[in-house]
Chain A
């Protein structure tokens, strides 16, 4: 039986958790097209923005200078903020994150049960992530493969400067995904990017059912049509996209499955398999 998000007093957030370049933006576009039918998909106004990871918001809530705190020190403040934020919302509120599911030594969860109705975990074959991520970051495949194996990997975290977004510990690919699948704070809806490609409508219906959002078949079909890769690429070309990596590189590439195995050499494939075999097998990617 498909699990369902568990709403309740204060439990209004559905996290859209994914390792980078795994398809969460596409899912956000699909949700936006579904929830705002009749409006053109605006890539800069997608459902699921990372609002709770804005540094200024946490600083205001907790009365801290988050720039002066380490990632671990921020966790209890963020946990409180997520609860306060969720309390003020009518669910479902989708919030994207690339963070792993983390807990402090004293048991405080970064994504606390009291705030969380559920999580949609979007996964993609790591062999395909490499090329997409390398394109996004402007780095080599080897650098990305190393990053995907780095359990300390973080986003928006530097020793010597700050960004407007709070730092997030992404961790390594396997650890990131396992942390979400194995947590017990909230129900999980696992969505494979490859399944979104092969039957977008079915994948979207599962997400909507999990989230408790009723939509007609027509509405779902229209959302799928509005979010074909060609449409999203055109929207990016037309209106820009704040998450695009640079003025030169585009955010959306081909979106194909199986591209990675063609782009990587045998050594790189072997490294990825060796680093991530257990979780790949768990997700049906290692066959």
Chain B
């Protein structure tokens, strides 16, 4: 049984991935939660140096229910018990650096400790359920997400989607927070400006942009798409053959290297298996140059619909 976290009074509460977080550091773009007790506390505090890192040449170590990391020029972070993140800031580190690690790597460790599988994917809600698009950084997830949202689909996550299992093991997508993190280049191509937007890092041209359409409830997953950039002149969209599916989902578990240390490898594998049993997987190979976001989005939606139609009425 997880113990309720202790926290200082008068610290704001935020909602993310379906739980409530109390944080002594302002978390831009996370919606405030005015009611309810916090499930997780983020607070400054001493985090001891990790002199006996079990894995060599790493800046982090993971054990069951405990993750500790040092980020150069930023600070040390300890995520424990699925309900607490302590951070010890280094001199000169600004809030944006600390928040970037809290909402990125530390959140991934926290999700795992709470048995929410973090999948490196963006996510939107369609009428038939959540649609996830996963891919490595630089593959074009943000662009594709922009296209899907331009078609009126509400966003659920911009970079990491949480996955839990509902009744009878049905995979559900858990929404992250109502903002996208976009490079100036992508913002401009999607027709947005950068004026007044908070930066992800003060020295980077990457911005948080609050989204209007955000779906804040968990949803059954309709499909998962693996996006990759290729040399091909035309985009191709096809189902992923069954033999590759578990490997493909496993590869995109965000910070999957933590699973071993936290003794969660089996859970991670079983989660991937459970996902591919219930969710169709597709691969979109897109040309590496600029493709209109809406065209990418339509390729995905049309491809999924065609496949669903084929399954409903086989020839």
A interface list, Cβ under 8 A from B: 55-56, 59-68, 70, 73, 76-77, 80-81, 83-84, 87, 158-164, 240, 242, 247
A89 to B203, CA, bound (A): 36
Residue in chain B with minimal CB distance to A241? B231
CB interface residues, B 47-70, toward A, < 8 Å: 56-60, 69
CB contact between B56 and one of A68, A87, A161, A162 (< 8 Å): that residue: A87
The answer to whether B233 touches A61, judged by C-beta atoms less than 8 angstroms apart, is no
Residue of B nearest to A84 (CB): B57
Check: B195 CB closer than 8 A to any chain A CB.
no
Interface residue from B69, B71, B108, B206 paired with A67 (Cβ < 8 Å):
B206
Is B104 part of the binding interface, using a Cβ–Cβ cutoff of 8 Å?
A: yes
CB of B58 within 8 A of CB of A240, answer no
Q: How far apart are the CA atoms of A77 and B60 in the complex, in Å? A: 11
Take A62-B58, A63-B258 as given contacts and tell me if A240 and B231 are in contact as well, using a CB distance cutoff of 8 Å. yes
Q: B58–A242 contact, CB under 8 A?
A: no
Q: Which of B58, B73, B257 contacts A80 (CB 8 A)?
A: B58
Most buried by B among A62, A81, A247: A62
Most buried by B among A63, A80, A87: A63
Contact A81 to B183, CB < 8 A, known contacts A56-B136, A160-B205, A247-B233: no
Task: Tell me whether A80 and B206 are in contact in the complex, defined as CB-CB below 8 angstroms, given that A60-B256, A68-B200, A161-B186 are known contacts.
Answer: no
Give 27 CB contacts A-B under 8 Å. A55-B138, A60-B255, A60-B257, A62-B58, A62-B59, A63-B69, A63-B108, A65-B105, A67-B137, A68-B100, A68-B200, A68-B206, A80-B58, A80-B59, A81-B57, A83-B57, A84-B56, A84-B57, A84-B58, A159-B204, A159-B205, A160-B183, A162-B138, A162-B183, A163-B138, A164-B136, A242-B231
Is B308's beta carbon under 8 Å from chain A?
no
Give the residues in chain A near B57, CB-CB below 8 Å. 80-81, 83-84, 87
Minimum Cβ distance to chain B for residue A218 (Å): 36
Q: A61-B58, A62-B58, A68-B100 are in contact. List 7 more A-B contacts (CB 8 A).
A: A63-B69, A64-B105, A65-B137, A80-B57, A161-B185, A240-B231, A247-B233
Interface presence of B235 (CB below 8 A): no
- Chain A nearest CB from B177 CB (Å) reads 16
User: Whole-angstrom distance between the alpha carbons of A84 and B231 in the complex?
Assistant: 31
Among all A-B residue pairs, the 9 with the closest Cβ atoms: A84-B57, A160-B184, A161-B185, A164-B138, A160-B185, A160-B205, A80-B57, A56-B136, A83-B57
Is A63 a contact of B233 with CB atoms below 8 Å?
no
- Taking Cβ atoms with an 8 Å cutoff, the residues of B that contact A are 56-60, 69, 71-73, 100, 104-105, 108, 136-139, 183-186, 200-201, 203-206, 229, 231, 233, 255-258
What separation, in Å, do the CA atoms of A81 and B105 have in the docked complex?
17
Q: Which A-chain residue is minimally distant from B55 (CB atoms)?
A: A84
Chain B residues with Cβ under 8 A from A240's Cβ? 231
Residues of B within 8 A of A158 (CB): 185
Query: Which residue of chain B has the shortest Cβ distance to A56 in the bound complex?
Result: B136
**Which of A55, A68, A84, A160 touches B136 (beta carbons < 8 Å)?**
A55
Partner of A77, one of B59, B184, B206: B59
- A80 CA to B72 CA in the complex, in Å? 12
Cross-chain contact A68 with B201 (CB below 8 angstroms): yes
- Complex CA–CA separation, A81 to B104 (angstroms): 20
Of A73, A83, A158, A240, the most chain B CB neighbours within 10 A belong to: A73
Shortest Cβ distance from A163 into B: residue: B138
Q: Which residues of A contact B105 (CB under 8 A)?
A: 63-65
Most chain A Cβ neighbours within 10 Å, of B136, B138, B184: B138
**How far is it, in angstroms, between the C-alpha of A238 and the C-alpha of B192 when the chains are bound?**
42
Measured CA separation A242–B138 after assembly (Å): 17
Decide if B183 touches A161 in the complex (CB within 8 Å).
Answer: yes
Task: Tell me, in angstroms, the Cα distance from A67 to B206 when the chains sit together.
Answer: 9
Query: Bound state CA distance, A242 and B229, in angstroms?
Result: 12
What residues of chain A lie closer than 8 Å to B60, measured between beta carbons? Answer: 62-63
Specify the chain A residue showing the minimal Cβ separation from B73.
Answer: A73
Q: Nearest Cβ distance between residue A157 and chain B, in whole angstroms?
A: 12
A58 CB to closest chain B CB (Å) equals 10
Min distance, Cβ B53 to any Cβ of chain A, angstroms: 10
Compute how far the CA of A160 lies from the CA of B186 in the bound complex, rounded to whole angstroms.
8
Please state if A63 and B183 are interface contacts (CB–CB under 8 Å): no
User: Smallest distance from the beta carbon of B23 to chain A beta carbons, Å?
Assistant: 19
User: A63 near B257 (CB under 8 angstroms)?
Assistant: yes
Closest to A244 in B: B231
Cα distance A240–B203 in the bound complex, in angstroms: 38
Is the Cβ of A164 less than 8 Å from the Cβ of B139? yes
In the assembled complex, how far is the CB of residue B254 from the closest CB belonging to chain A, in whole angstroms? 9
